[in-house]
A and B are shown apart, each in its own frame.
Chain A
Amino acid sequence: VLRELLHGRRSLLWLFGPPVLFLAAVPLVNRVEPTVLGMPLFMAWLILATLLTPPCIWLAARRDPLWRPGWQVDVNGADSGHAGVDR
């Protein structure tokens, strides 16, 4: 089932960005020196990671075949393309 869901969505590899920044990198940046713009390194890193998270998810999204181009979404839910039972 998972293979079907992910078929042809290679850009989703960008979703590994946030876990790499926030988890894998932590052992390397858990220190005070050197400071960045007066901030201790670990805090500066976490701020950088927070700022980079939306771009990572955006890079995953923009080449995802399921992403609808543009931010305007049809009002009546027709964009969902689903036949739901409770609509």
Chain B
Amino acid sequence: VNRDAVVSIGILALFLVATVALGLRAVRRREHNMIEWSVGGRSMGLLLTWVLMAGETYTSFSYLGAAGWSYTNGISALYVVAYLSVGMAVTYLSGPLLWSYAHRHGLHSISDLVGHRFSSPLAGAVVAVFATIFILPYVQLQITGMGVVVATISYGTISLGVAYLLAFLVSEAFVLVSGLRGSAWVSALKDALVVLTLLVVFVWVPVHYFGGYGELLVRMSATHSAWLTLPGPANRELGVGWFISTSALNAVVYSIFPTSVAGFLGARSPQILRQNAVVLPFYQLLLFVPVLLGFASVLVVPGLKDSNLALFTLITHTLPAWLLGVVGAAAALSSIVPMAVFMLVIGTMWTRSMPRWGGGERDERAQRRFAQLITLLTGVVALAMTYLLPNALVRLSVLSYEGIAQLLPMTLLALLWRRLSLVAGLCGLVVGVLVDVTLVLLGRDPLGGINAGLIGLAANLLTAAMVTRLRPADTPDELLAMPEPRVPLAAGH
């Protein structure tokens, strides 16, 4: 073990210990009931909501994947910025809507919400299982991401297998005890580290290799101009139509994605969510950094086999060991925080939507224990899959957003659509998933330049509308969304 490895591993270890300590400290003097654990007692202010939502959107994909994507496919990587920004405009409306509904009826997750809207616990259970299938791959992706980071910054001293286990242990350690509030506190540490390290690397890389950004972009334009527009150098499919349809779909899906909903429901009031929609988009500026670094890697280290290593290949042998340790800690936390929230959301959905197993309607402590058990099991399954079938789940993760998209009619629209019945919603869901999965399996995603999930959603909506026409439901007012009470505006506003 060389001296550099000791230094960078030491710094990473320090931050991981701090993470667990911070996560555990977050819930001192807090009640030990289900609502406190699953949605932070619906009491988080703007700052905690902001760091949590930012923390969820900035995953290990942003660190490794975005740089890797721009390395291989060019600027289309920025579809992430497009859908998150448009998504913020959507959440300005959908966040408060979901918050108010959940608050009024005492709900903790989207499966809970579906069960309540259709007065059918079974519908809630179906959504819980369905969502789990599409979120589990994300948990595994985070474990894999963390493994790559730790193995790289330890200069190969720590093996991938050990690093996977480390990701699992650290995230479970705080989320089991501290739930959503703990995740938000850890997010604060993570966001600080991410901003700091990206700014340092952002300045340092171009100066070190090119003498500045101007030179980097001039050289890109001269020799690699295909990287700077859609569809990019490698895949004709990633054209303008793909960019627009994917960003539009993901923007809407973002606002019902189970982990975003956990963030919404943790807020103290709908006003917090509106404020968050105004300030969070600034955070997306950070996503330009890994994309630019992907470009730098194209020029400096072309021909890598694993594009996800583009960013770290660029900095491993040129940054001092201690700084590499800090960058590694930021990247590791970018895996750990989203992973913890993903697992927590699965635990919450199963508990609340399967009350027979989940400790019954009344016993909050039993509910919480069951949710913790599911959260642990989720991590164990994802870890086992990482070791045994590393590729199966990663393939499924491509489907994640497109799959969750098919829940749109039954979750968000159902609160606005009085005549939508459970049968119509389920028919739409089945058709939407079938269309999407078929297209993906046939290798027809995108189809004619349009995201297959969007095509599936169109089929889904059409089916739901047709069944609704044949057999409309008459949902009582109290199960639909209600306008928020309005306060008179103060003078001068």
Contacts and interface: CB of A to CB of B under 8 A. Distances in A.
Q: Do A and B interact with each other, yes or no?
A: yes
B198 interface: no
Interface residues on A, range: 35 or more
Say what secondary structure dominates the interface of chain B.
helix
B217 A73 contact: no
B228 interface: yes
B88 A53 contact: yes
Interface in B247-268: 247-248, 251, 268
B274 interface: yes
Nearest to B488: A65
Contact of A54 (B82, B97, B279, B483): B279
A85 B228 contact: no
A18 B252 CA distance: 13
B92 A77 contact: no
Contacts of B82: 22-23, 46, 49
Interface residues of B, number: 68
Interface string A53-77: 1101110111011111101010001
Interface string B22-43: 0000000000000100000011
B393 interface: no
A65 B274 CA distance: 12
A26 B277 contact: no
B93 A80 contact: no
Given A49-B85, A57-B89, A5 B228 contact: no
B104 A85 contact: yes
A46 B81 contact: yes
B269 A79 contact: yes
Given A2-B416, A73-B45, A81-B487, A57 B270 contact: no
B485 interface: yes
Nearest to A58: B278
B443 interface: no
B78 interface: yes
B483 A68 contact: no
Given A15-B89, A79-B271, A57 B97 contact: no
Given A23-B86, A79-B269, A61 B486 contact: no
B416 A50 contact: no
Contacts of A18: 85-86, 88-89, 281
B100 A73 contact: no
Nearest to A85: B106
B210 interface: no
Contacts of A21: 85
Interface of A: 1-2, 4-5, 7, 12, 15-19, 21-24, 26-27, 30-32, 35, 38-40, 42-43, 46-47, 49-51, 53-54, 56-58, 60-62, 64-69, 71, 73, 77, 79-87
27 contacts: A2-B416, A16-B89, A21-B85, A22-B86, A23-B248, A32-B229, A40-B220, A40-B225, A42-B230, A46-B81, A50-B81, A50-B281, A50-B284, A53-B89, A53-B284, A57-B281, A61-B278, A69-B490, A71-B275, A79-B271, A80-B270, A80-B271, A81-B485, A82-B100, A84-B106, A85-B104, A86-B35
Interface of B: 35, 42-43, 45-46, 75, 78, 81-82, 85-86, 88-90, 92-93, 96-97, 100, 103-106, 213-214, 217-218, 220-221, 225, 228-230, 240, 243-244, 247-248, 251, 268-272, 274-275, 277-279, 281-282, 284-285, 288, 415-418, 480-481, 483-487, 489-490, 493
User: Nearest 4 A-B pairs (CB), nearest first?
Assistant: A80-B269, A86-B106, A22-B82, A53-B281
Given A1-B415, A32-B221, 8 more contacts: A15-B89, A22-B247, A50-B85, A50-B281, A50-B285, A53-B88, A54-B279, A57-B277
